[in-house]
Amino acid sequence: MVHYTHQNAVIAFDTIYQTLIIHTMYAHLVSNWGDLKSLRQLVLSMLVEALFNIP
């Protein structure tokens, strides 16, 4: 019986991180298309990305 707890955690964090990136890109490129003032505001998912960005 082999346990892959470390690998599963890495996959889970990577999946969450990629989801947050996709949400940020969607918010900027689709939801706020053509609204240049919206680029000055941070999307909440961008702030949460900093928690999952492990060097």
With 70 as the cut, is the pLDDT of residue 48 above it? yes
Six-digit token string for 24 = 């940020």
Which CA distances in Å does 19 have to 6, 27, 31, 35, 36?
20, 12, 16, 23, 24
SS3 state of residue 8 = helix
Mean pLDDT, the chain, rounded, equals 81
With a pLDDT cut of 90, the percent of the chain lying above it is 5
0.85 exceeded by the pTM? no
The candidate with the shortest Cα–Cα distance to 27, out of 3, 48, 4, 8, is 48
User: Confidence class of residue 2 from pLDDT cuts 50, 70 and 90?
Assistant: low
Contacts of residue 48, Cβ cutoff 8 Å, sequence gap at least 6: 20
Distance CA 48, CA 38 (A): 18
User: Can you give the pLDDT at residue 51?
Assistant: 79
pLDDT at 4 over 70: no
